[in-house]
Amino acid sequence: MRLVHRSAGPDADAGPDADAGPDADDRKSTVLADDVDVARSTLEQGRGLMFRRAVPDGYALVFPFEEADAQWLHMLFVPFAIDALWLVDGEVRKRKRLAPFVGLGRGRADTVAELPAGAAVDVAVGDEVRLVE
CATH of the domain at 47: 2.60.120.1140
pLDDT at 26 over 50: no
For the chain, give the mean pLDDT.
90
Coil vs helix vs strand at 9 = coil
Please name which of 117, 119, 120 lies closest in space to residue 94, comparing C-alpha atoms: 120
pLDDT in tens, 71-107: 999 999 999 999 999 999 999 999 999 999 999 999 9
The separation between CA 75 and the C-alpha centre of its own chain, rounded to angstroms, equals 16
Q: Is residue 15 domain-resident?
A: no
- The CA-based angle 49-113-59, given to 5 degrees, is 65
**Predicted local distance difference test score (pLDDT) of residue 28:** 80
Consecutive H or E run containing 27: helix 24-28
Helix (H, G, I), strand (E, B) or coil at 91: strand
pLDDT confidence tier of residue 9, bands split at 50, 70 and 90? confident
Domain-embedded: residue 43: yes
Can you give the pLDDT at residue 14? 45
Say whether 24 sits in a helix, a strand or coil. helix
The range of the structural domain enclosing residue 128 comes to 2-8+32-132
pLDDT at 32 over 90: yes
Domain-embedded: residue 49: yes
Q: Flag whether 25 is in a domain.
A: no
- Number of domain units in the chain: 1
Within the chain, strands assigned E span 2-6, 29-33, 35-38, 59-74, 82-88, 91-98, 104-116, 128-132
Q: Is residue 21 part of a domain?
A: no
In single-letter form, the type of residue at position 55 comes to: V
Domain assignment present for 13: no
Write the pLDDT tens digit of every residue in 13-25. 444 344 444 444 5
At 20 the pLDDT is: 44
Q: Tell me the pTM.
A: 0.86
Structural domain includes residue 26: no
In a domain, 17, yes or no: no
